[in-house]
Structure 1
Amino acid sequence: MIRTYYLLTKPGIIMGNLITTVSGFALASRGHFDLLLFLATMAGLGCVIASACVFNNYIDRIADEKMVRTKNRPLVQGLISPKSAIVFALCLGFLGLVILWIYTNPLATAVAFSGFFIYVILYSFWKYQTSLATLVGSIAGAIPPVVGYCAVSSRFDIGAALLFIILVLWQMPHFFSIAMFRAKEYGAASIPLFPTERGHFATKIQMLLYIIAFLVATVLLIAFGYTGTAYLVSVVVLGLAWLALCIKGFKSKNDVAWARQMFRLSLVIITLLSIMISIDTV
């Protein structure tokens, strides 16, 4: 039963978000790493993200029945009752916000709650109404590194803003890739997708523009004196590789396979980006 509740929190999503949180925390720390504050930030935000994921599982339980990828989730299989899931989500969210409030600061707590609200209340419902909900979801996904940054700095400045912008710009091509190779699954659940509504060519144009903007945003971290040369070299190489693969997609004869490549590369990029921000902060 413990494992069932654990799976309900979508541990993969939690891990991915906490990786970016580390980069925000390290960027604001600038070499003065507070271990206790770091652990409290990770624990508190981890609980908030887990709570949001459980709520999302509850909201998606009907649609999840129609998709092969999600039909075995605990709520769909009846392994956990909807009421128990709600109670679990509330407890996780309350615990996480209390930890952040006590051990970090009101700003970090408020930012974390805003991400929770955007993901659960706005994105989770709007995604059934409009494909533009993807942009809303990208805003929620860009919150974790900002929480990490604000937990240390107690302020929202240009560093926090750049992290937020970078994550939003990264997520759009990432989400579009998923939408392209999982279009049939989402279609079965009646979830509107940009590639389905506007076509693959229009989606590729959007991805190209977002990746170019992403490249510019990542370079701004060094321009404003937050990171060093090693970071710059890494992000330029990775960004150009992503851009090249995106351009290659305009000649692709198998968009599903190409989208999977874009998706995998996007994961490599955000992981290495987070690592380089963490170890090459000025």
Structure 2
Amino acid sequence: MSDTSIADRHLGNEAMPQIGMASPGDYFELLKPRVMSLVIFTALVGLVVAPGEINPVIAFTALLCIAVGAGASGALNMWYDADIDAKMARTINRPVPAGRITSREALGFGLTLSVGSVLMMALAVNYTAAFLLAFTIFFYAVIYTMGLKRRTPQNIVIGGAAGAFPPMIGWAAVTGTVSVPSVILFLIIFMWTPPHFWALALFRSDDYEHAGVPMLPVVAGEAETRRQILIYSVLLVPVTLAPGFLGFAGVFYTVFAAILGALFLVFAYRVFRTRADTADEKKAQDKAAKQLFAYSILYLFLVFSTLLVEQGFGLARPLLELWG
């Protein structure tokens, strides 16, 4: 990257790449497809679990709008974060810092998709889902990316709300409302986000420090990060069990979620009890953090998959039946 200011880069005044250098794949990469796939999946679960019926075409439209909105958020994030992406090994080859797409193009792409997805949601689905989608895009692009990420080690805790809204949007697409069950689905992802990303930050702390991002390991140290990972993991497990006790999930889900949660706590405790005072201890800590990070992805997928399977196959036998 050149020595131009951050403001100049955000306005797209950096050196222009060669015309025609960007491929369709580069624009697709702007959408953060791996994040988008998780967003679509959790939104689908919210849509399926919600009470009531929805026309399949409307349901597909809602999921498409959520996917496009998530992609828009990713594009806006890459536009604004191009300067720090250029300093991190994990992100240096993204289209904007690599010069295949200009900041101005990324900004225009993101804004166009944002407006289009929200308008389509409002016209084809309902205003509640459209409002939640608009707020999610705003929260991720403005509150998290522009406001929190570079200023506070609590960026992931607060910013995690952006990734937690999709099942609530899916629920609202069916019901037109926000209710307690949809808030619980939101809270599952919200509480999952800190241990998931702090595990990543533990073994990528040098990257974040070099980029000047105040992630918890950089600001508070690795010991405090390990402690916070364990605390949030302990808080996460009962939240994932709440659907069964609130009656919108059954025995099958509750038992499986409890098993998955117990394993999550095992991985989190392994991270907690590691140290990083020597090179060998640092390797052991990084290994434990990588294992937790990998399992956390599988964990969230399986928790929401179980809700989906239980609903789809009619397995949602209420817990109260066992006690009755």
Report deviation, 1:33. Answer: 5.9
DSSP 3-state at the match of 1:131: coil
2:99 to 49, 68, 78: 78
Out of 307, 311, 318, the position equivalent to 1:277 is 307
Q: Which of 232, 235, 259 is the equivalent residue of 1:213?
A: 235
Deviation at 1:89? Answer: 1.0
Higher relative contact order (CA 8 A, sep 6+): 1
- The offset of 1:265, in angstroms, is 0.5
Whole-angstrom distance in 1 between the partners of 2:106 and 2:221:
37
Deviations, residues 175-210 of structure 1 (Å, cap 9, x unaligned): 111111111111111001112222222222222221
Structure 2 residue corresponding to 1:58, chosen from 70, 79, 83: 79
CA distance in 2, matches of 1:184, 1:201: 15
Q: Report the counterpart of residue 236 of structure 1 in structure 2.
A: 258
Q: Any idea what SS the aligned residue of 1:109 has?
A: helix
Q: Deviations over 1:120-177 (max 9, x none)?
A: 0011122111111111221111111110111111111111111111111111111111
SS in structure 2 at match of 1:75: coil
CA distance in 2, matches of 1:81, 1:208: 41
Structure possessing the higher radius of gyration over alpha carbons: 2
2:181 is aligned to 159
Gaps of 5+ in 1: none
Which among 134, 138, 142 is matched to residue 113 of structure 1? Answer: 134
Q: Does 1:122 align with 2:152?
A: no
Does structure 2 conserve the Cα–Cα contact (< 8 Å) formed by 1:21 and 1:146? yes
Structure whose residues are more often helix by fraction = 1
Partner SS, residue 77 of structure 1: coil
Q: State the match for 1:168 in structure 2.
A: 190
RMSD across aligned positions (CA): 1.4
Structure 2 Cα separation of the partners of residues 35 and 231 of structure 1: 25
CA contact (8 A) 1:26 1:33 kept: no
Counterparts of 1:237-252 in structure 2 under 5 Å? Answer: 237-252=259-274
Residue by residue over 1:257-280, the C-alpha shift from the partner in whole angstroms, topping out at 9 and shown as x without a partner, is 111111001000110111111121
Q: Is the 8 A contact 1:22 1:148 kept in 2?
A: yes
**How much does 1:222 deviate?**
0.8
User: Following the alignment from structure 2 to structure 1, what is the Cα–Cα distance between the partners of residues 182 and 152?
Assistant: 29
Q: Which residue identity is paired with 1:44?
A: C
Instruction: Compute the displacement of 1:29 (Å).
Output: 4.2
Q: Is the 8 A contact 2:229 2:272 kept in 1?
A: no
Alignment of 1:101 with 2:106, yes or no, is no
Q: What is the TM-score normalised by the length of structure 2?
A: 0.84
Sort the Cα spacing of 1:273 and 1:34 in 2 relative to 1 into closer, same or farther, 3 A.
farther
Q: Which runs of 5+ in 2 are unaligned?
A: 1-22, 275-280, 317-324
SS of the equivalent of 2:87 reads: coil
Moved over 6 A (4+): none
2:288 — aligned with what? 258
CA contact (8 A) 2:70 2:137 kept: yes
Aligned length: 281
Partner of 2:89: 68
> How far apart, CA to CA, are the structure 2 residues paired with 1:50 and 1:204?
31
Answering whether residue 297 of structure 2 is matched by residue 267 of structure 1, we say yes
Q: What's the counterpart of residue 161 of structure 2?
A: 139
Q: Which amino acid aligns with 1:230?
A: F
Partner in structure 2 of residue 26 of structure 1: 48
Report the Cα distance in structure 2 between the residues aligned to 1:234 and 1:37, rounded to whole angstroms: 31
How big is the shift at 1:109? Answer: 0.8
3-state DSSP of counterpart to 1:273? helix
Separation in 2, partners of 1:183, 1:198: 11
- Which has the larger displacement, 34-43 or 5-14? 34-43
Kept after mapping to 1: 8 A contact 2:208/2:218: no
Amino acid at match of 2:94: R
CA 1:212–1:33: 2 relative to 1, 3 Å: farther
